[in-house]
Chain A
Amino acid sequence: MKNDVFTFLVGGKAGEGVKKAGSVVAHIFSRMGRYVFQMDDYMSLIRGGHNFSVVSTSTRWISSQYMNANLIVNFDKRSSQVHNNDIAENGIVVFNSDEQEDVEGIGIPLSSEADKYTMKKLMYGVGAVAILASTIGFKKSEMNDIIKNEYPSGIEDNIKFADTIYDLVKNECENKFPLEKGDKERVIITGNESISLGAVAGGLNAYYGYPMTPASTILHFLARHAKEFGLAVVHAENELAVINMAIGSAFSGAKSMVGTSGGGFALMTEGFSLAGMTEAPVLVVLSQRPGPATGVPTYTEQADLSFALTAGHGDFLRIVASPGTIEDAYYLASEMLELVWKFQTPGILLTEKHLSESSMTVEINVEDAKWAEPKLHQGGEYKRYLNTEDGVSPLLFPPSKEIIKWDSYEHNEHGITTEDAQTIQFMHNKRGKKINALIDYLKNKTTVNITQGEHPLNIFSYGSTYMSVLEALKYGKINPTVIQPIYLNPLPIWELEKFKDQKNIVVEQSFTGQFSNLLKEKAGIPIKAIIKKYDGRPFDPIELYTRIKEVAE
C-alpha cells in the first residue's frame, strides 16, 4: 500500500543528541509547510543504552509516527540491530562504519569523523541532520542555516562536520526523497506543553510537582515560564506534599494543578480524597506509563484508567477526562480547570506518555480556551458548605471578616466537624447533588468525539490511542465510525447509547481491557473485539490497520 508519509528515524546512545536530531528534522519539515509527528523512544538511563527518535511527515494532518522508515540513521551497532526490520521499501539506511561492516546500507565513518572535534559524540546529531538534508535535496547553504540556528554552540565545527557528512553520503543520498512543500508552517509542541499552556489559558496560578516521567516536563515547562505567567511553580518533597500544597493554595484562591504518573498519583490519593471532602478544586494531570509499581518509566500504557476512576477513599465526585490529540489537550486542560472550579471537586486529566512526550504540528485557537470562574459568596453570613440547589457552595477566600472553614472531617455547613447522623447524611446528599449538576452541564458540551463513517463498524478508543486509530484509518483508507469519549467520569452514556446494537470494537493499551470494561459496565456497549497492546510502545498505524482489518472481517 502506497503511503503519503515520509519517515525519518535516528537511533543511538543516550547522550548522542538523538532526540535533538529528531526535533531539528521535525522543524525542517514543519518549515516546509508539512505536518509532523515525532515520537521519542528512550530508556530510563542517562548515558548509553538505545534511544531513537521517529519523525513522520506528510502534507496532510498526521497523528502518529510510522516505524516503517524511509531514512534510518544508526549511530551505533545496537541501533542497526534494533531497527533492522524498520526500513521501508526503497528506503535508505546509513550506519556507522567505525562500529560495523558487512551490513546493508551506506556506511560512513561517523565516529572517526566526530572524534576530530572537541564535542565528539555530541556531533552525531548534526551528522544525522546533514544526511536528512542531502536526502531531501537541501542545498548545503540551506542546511547550514538550519545547523546555525539549531546547534548554536560551536557553530563553525558543527557546519564543518555537517559539510563533511553531507559530502560523504552525497552520491547515494542526494535528493533521493524530494519532499513536496506543504501549505504553511505550523508550530510543533509536545502534549505536556499543550496541557501546560491550556491550564495557563484557563487561569492557572500555581503548579506543584515531584519529578516523575512522563509528567516531569510539565513541571519543567511551567517553571521556565512561571515568571511571565505570574505562576508559583514548586518542586516539593514528595507527591503527598504536592497534592496537599495544591489544596492549601486552592483555599487561598489559587487555581492549582499538579502532575504525576501512576506511582506518584498512588501517593496523592489520600489528598485527592481530602479534596473530595473539603470540596477543593484541584486538577491532577495523570500521565500513564506501564505499571504496576515502577513499571517501565519511559514508555506508554493505558492501565491506570480504573485506578483514576475510583481514586481516593470515600464517595465523592471525581471528574476524569482524557484528551485524544495534542491539540485537544490544550482545550481540555482549560476546560478541566474550569470544571473543577465550577463544581469544587478534584479532577484528573488522564493522559499517557505517548501524548505527553510526543510532539506534533498543531494549530491551536488560543482564545477557545475556557476560563475557570468559581461561584463566589455575594455577602452576608458565610457558610463554606452552604446547601444549594446544585450542591455547589459559594466560595470566599481569606482575608475576610467572615470565617471560612474547610474541613477534612465530615462537617456541618459552617465547616465544623460533626458526627451527627442527620448531618452526615445531609452533607453526603449536598455533595452528591454536584454529580447530577455536572452531568446536566456536560450534556450541552462536546463530551465524545464522534466521526460518522460509512463502514458498518464502530471503533472506540480514548486518549492518545485515538491518534493511532485515526492514522491507521488514514493509512488503510477505510472509514468506520470513530468514537472517542473525552469524559470518562461521568461517562457520557447519553451520547453512547445509540451504539448499543451495533458492531463495536475497542482499541486500547491495557492488558485487561480496562476501557472496554468501562464501556460494557457503564454504557452497556457490547464489544465484538478488543485490539490491545501492552508492550509499552504506542501502536504503529500499519500494524493497527492490519489488526482492525482482521477483526472487521
Chain B
Amino acid sequence: MSTSRSISTVSRFFANYGMLGVLALLCLYYSWATLKLQPRLGADAASALARELVNAPEPPSGVLIVAKDHADDIQFADRLAAELQAADIAVVEKIHGEPPAVRKALERLVAAGNLVDCIATTEDYRSIISNISKRMPRLTNSQITAAESYWWPTFLLAENLLNVANQIVVIAIIAVGMTMVIIAGGIDLSVGSLVALSAVVTGTLIVAAGGLEAPPVAMFFCSLAAIATCAAVGTFSGIMITVFRIPPFIATLAMMQVASGLAYTISRGGSIYQLPASFTWLGRESSLLGIPNTVVLMLLIYALAHLIMSRTRLGRYIYAVGGNRQAARLSGIRTNWVVLVTFVISGTMAGLGGVIEASVLKSGGPTYGLMYELYVIAAVVVGGTSLAGGEGKILGTLIGAFIIAVIRNGMNLTEVENYTQKIVLGLVILGAVLLDMLRKRTWRGLVTED
C-alpha cells in the first residue's frame, strides 16, 4: 500500500513541477554547447603557472611578471612572486599597468641591460606582450608563458550563473503578482509601465530628498512611496475591474498607457541620474554568502507567496474564484475583494521591480520595464499556470522564469542573433506550454489507471 502511495506522491510532484525536467534539460544542453577553454585567473592562475615553471626541465633563471592593475591581476602577481621565490627562482620585477605603461617598463628594463628570458603573465595579456616584444629585438627570444586554460562550460561559470539569477530577478518578482492575478481569472498588462513609473517616482523623490546627499533612510522611504504609488494604480485597476466590471484586459491595457504617460511626464522624457552610489546596495551588492541581495529578496518573496497560496485562506479563495466564480460567490467568498487584492499585489510587485531596476542602473528612466509584461506572462504560463484561471503553482512560476532566463542567457552565450532570439523565444514558449498541457494529461492518465 505504501509503495503505491509514494508512487502517487512522486507522480503528483512530477505532474505539478514537471517543468523542472525541462529546466534541467536546458541547463545540460547549454553546458554542452558552451564548453570551451577558459583562462585561469588570479591566485589560481598563479599557482598553476608556478607549478609549471618550477617543474619544467630547465626552470628559468629569472622571471618577469607582467599584469594589469585590477584586483584579480594584483592577486596573480603577488601569489606568483611568492611561490617562485619559495622555489628559489628569482623574480626580476613585477610590472602592473595598461599596455602603454608595460611597453615603457620593458623598454626601460632592456635599456638597463637586464636579461629577460622568461615573462610570466595572464592569458589575456599573453598576445599583447607578444605584440610588444615583436617590436623589441632584444626580447624576441624571451619565453612568454601564462597558466594553461581549462575546459569548462561558460554557462556554468559562477559569474554566469549569477548573471542568470540577476537577469531574472525583476521578471520573477513581478511574476509572483501576475500568477495570483491569473489564477484568480484575470490578467494584468500594466506591469511593464508600472516598473517605469516606480523607477521614475523613486528617482524624483530621492532627488527631492537631497539627490547625491540623500541619506539611506530617505532612500528607503522614497522607494516605499514609489511602491505605494504602484499599489495605488493596482487598486485603481482592481476597482475598475470589480466595481465597474471592465474586463481586466481592457482596464489594465488602459492603465498601461496611463502609467507610461505619467512616467514620461514626471521625468520629462529623460532619465534621472543624481542618485547616490549607496542606492545600488539593493541592486548590486551581495551580503549573504555572496548571493546578490536581489536574489535573496526574490527567494523570500517566493517563499512568502508559496505559503500564502498553499496554506492560507486567501490562497484558497484565489484558486476558488479563478476556478468557478459563481460557485465561489455562492459559497460566501467575497469574490470582488479577492480579485481586488490580487491586482493590488500585482501593482506592488511591479513597483518593487521598478525600485530594483533603478537600483541596478543607479538611475530612474521612463523606458524601463518596456515589454516586461510579455516576459512575465510567459514565465507564469511556462511555469504551468493556466490562463483560464483556477490552477497554477507559485513555485512553478519560479521555474518558468528560470527557463526563460536560461534560454536567453544560453542564446547570448552561443551568439544567436538578436532577431533570431525573439523567434526562438516565442516558439519555445509555445512549445513549453503545449508540452506541459500534454504531460499533465498523460501523467494523470497513468496515475488514475492504478
Chains A and B are bound partners: no
Residues of B in contact with A (beta carbons under 8 Å apart) = none
Interface residues of A (CB under 8 A from B): none
